Structure 1
Amino acid sequence: MSTIRIVLADDHQVVRAGLALLLGGEEGIEVVAQAGDVDGTLRAVLGHKPDVLVLDLNMPGTLTSLEAIPQVRTKSPLTATVVLTMQEDPEYARRSLRAGAMGYVLKESADAELVEAVRRAADGQTYLNPSLGARLVAMPEKPAGPPGDLSGREAEVLRLLALGHTNAEVGEQLFLSVRTVETHRAHIQQKLSLTTRAELVRYALDHGLLDDA
């Protein structure tokens, strides 16, 4: 069995140290890098291309942790993300899974669940904290999709931008000129009253545009 290589991201050094001991003590698991903010996490993922990223949901950085998940998928498609958090709200679990996370573990249950979540994620399987899973099933899903005044093409452009693609890459995938992509992006920002990429990513996550990404 090959070793599961992990990047560990948490903004509290003491927590990182404890998690590194927990994971590093398991057979077939190696922590290859650690990070304390979102920007450092993305650099570590790009540099190490780990099998699994264990990601705290609340870290400082240019992007939020939630917004970074699709960026991880873009920078390192073979890296599975396991979210480790104190957030017990099932909506955060839903958003994390929509963004592309393969696991959602509560910090209070890390000792019992994190190793299993990591192993499942490395094997291409999803892990969700059992109590949260039950609450998620029982919770009605919020309406997904863009508002009626956002066209299908604009929604597709927004989805690709939220996944971290440049205007040129979006144009290449959709067979559009860069100028046309820029025009679509301007219309999207005007219609949604959004200005930054981070706001666009958050909107795409909240409206389910990354569900099938």
Structure 2
Amino acid sequence: MIRVLLVDDHTMIRKGLRVLLEGYPEIKIVGESHNGNDAILKSISFAPDVVLMDLSMPNGLDGFSASAEIRKLAPSVKIVILTMHDEEIFVQKAVTVGAHGYILKNSHGELLFQAIVEVYGGKHFYKTSVSQDIVRQWLKSESKKLPSVLTDREKEIVRLIVLGYANKEIADKLSISVKTVENHKTNIMQKLELDSKHELIQYAIKNRYLDLAF
């Protein structure tokens, strides 16, 4: 029995997925989440084997941020991104956050079932317009990467700095104090051994911090 958690901000989509997947005796739906924050909590408390994760969820964390957090807090949980986004940049970001699978919402039910079974069995399952050879290269490259010197929160702050947000605006956006923002900025500059905002901007561009929200 494969335990599955459904994550999508649209109730009708979650209900449709539940009806579809409950038709397979190998699958048990253990819960549903309507945003990334709730998905993280339920991934820990419900201990699903596989999470079907939507990307575009306006309230709370997006699917990428939630997936990255789940991979840290519940590393045994497998994540399959289920989305309408077929662009290369989204697929590559999924690889970066550690998603085990990626399929499109217009895929037929059998493909979704196959994705769940494959990732549950320890494999990757990416079915998009991006070449399978390219995806394999990304996965191989990602597996060899050393952990980033910056934390996810520090990366988020770098991105907001480059986008032109002032300390007070960053603090308000992230629900932290201005002092905390200043401390993060000091730590970031020290970790990266940078001396100026210009160098920080160049670093952020080189490492593609502006491609997608963290």
* TM-score, with length taken from structure 2: 0.67
Q: Partner of 1:184 in structure 2?
A: 187
Q: Partner of 2:38 in structure 1?
A: 40
- Cα 1:156–1:205 shift into 2, 3 Å: farther
Distance 2:24 2:117 in 1: 11
Indicate the percent of aligned positions where both proteins have the same amino acid.
Answer: 27
Aligned to 1:34, the other structure's residue is in SS state: strand
Q: Partner of 1:113 in structure 2?
A: 111
Distance 2:35 2:16 in 1: 17
Match of 1:134 among 124, 131, 134: 131
Offset at residue 133 of structure 1 (A): 3.6
Aligned: 1:9 with 2:7: yes
Match of 1:87 among 71, 85, 90: 85
Aligned to 2:103, the other structure's residue is in SS state: strand
Aligned to 1:78, the other structure's residue is in SS state: coil
How many residue pairs get aligned? The number is 168
Offset at residue 28 of structure 1 (A): 1.4
Q: Partner of 2:21 in structure 1?
A: 23
**Aligned partners of 1:38 and 1:62 also within 8 Å:** yes
Aligned: 1:203 with 2:201: no
Distance 1:41 1:118 in 2: 17
Q: Which portions of structure 1, spanning 4 or more consecutive aligned residues, are displaced by more than 4 angstroms?
A: 180-183, 186-191
The answer to which structure, 1 or 2, has the higher relative contact order (CA under 8 A, 6+ apart) is 1
Aligned: 1:162 with 2:165: no
* TM-score, with length taken from structure 1: 0.67
Deviations 1:12-53 (A, max 9, x none): 100000101111211211110101111111111111121100
Q: Please, what is the CA RMSD of the aligned residues?
A: 3.5
Aligned to 1:43, the other structure's residue is in SS state: helix
